[in-house]
């Protein structure tokens, strides 16, 4: 099992360029998330998708768009990159919380390896 796979791992963009960060999970999870991480700021939620076909804004959505292509894939697009978008981006996925104490499906999120993006 690969878990959550993000591409690319590193990217340098010029101001105004566009790019799409790809994320795929093979755990059959319903929910997927995009976060950015800046020094001292923890993980800030950009967008999330609670299930296939739905997307919602998180804490810092401005300048980003997302597409939940299917249950496995959730992409993040920067239409016109700005230096303020220099950050480390993480994709994550989780299952829905199920009732009871059985294993699995308790909502834990699993993360990809991150994309280090620099906008110059």
Partner 1 sequence: QKEVEQNSGPLSVPEGAIASLNCTYSDRGSQSFFWYRQYSGKSPELIMSIYSNGDKEDGRFTAQLNKASQYVSLLIRDSQPSDSATYLCAVKNNQGGKLIFGQGTELSVKP
Residue from 25, 31, 85, 87 that binds partner 1 (CB under 8 A)? 31
Number of residues that bind partner 1 (CB under 8 A): 29
The nearest distance, CB 50 to partner 1, in angstroms, is 3
Chain centroid to Cα 7, Å, comes to: 11
SS3 22: strand
Distance (Å, rounded) from C-alpha 102 to C-alpha 12? 44
For residue 83, give the DSSP letter. Answer: G
Q: Does 103 bind partner 1 (CB under 8 A)?
A: no
The nearest distance, CB 119 to partner 1, in angstroms, is 20
Distance (Å, rounded) from C-alpha 66 to C-alpha 49? 9
- Contacts with partner 1, residue ranges (CB under 8 A): 31, 33, 35, 40-45, 48, 50-51, 56, 58-59, 90, 92, 94, 96-97, 106-114
């Amino acid at each position: 099992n690969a878990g959550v796979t993000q591409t690319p791992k590193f990217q340098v963009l010029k101001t105004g360029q566009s790019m799409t960060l790809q994320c795929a999970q093979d755990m059959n999870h319903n929910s997927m998330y995009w976060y950015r991480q800046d020094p001292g700021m923890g993980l800030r939620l950009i967008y999330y998708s609670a299930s296939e076909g739905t997307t919602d804004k998180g804490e810092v959505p401005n300048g980003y768009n997302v597409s939940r292509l299917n249950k496995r894939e959730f992409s993040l697009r920067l239409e016109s990159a700005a230096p303020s978008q220099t950050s480390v981006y993480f994709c994550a996925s989780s299952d829905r919380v199920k009732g009871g104490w059985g294993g699995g499906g308790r909502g834990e999120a699993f993360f990809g390896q991150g994309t280090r993006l620099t906008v110059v």
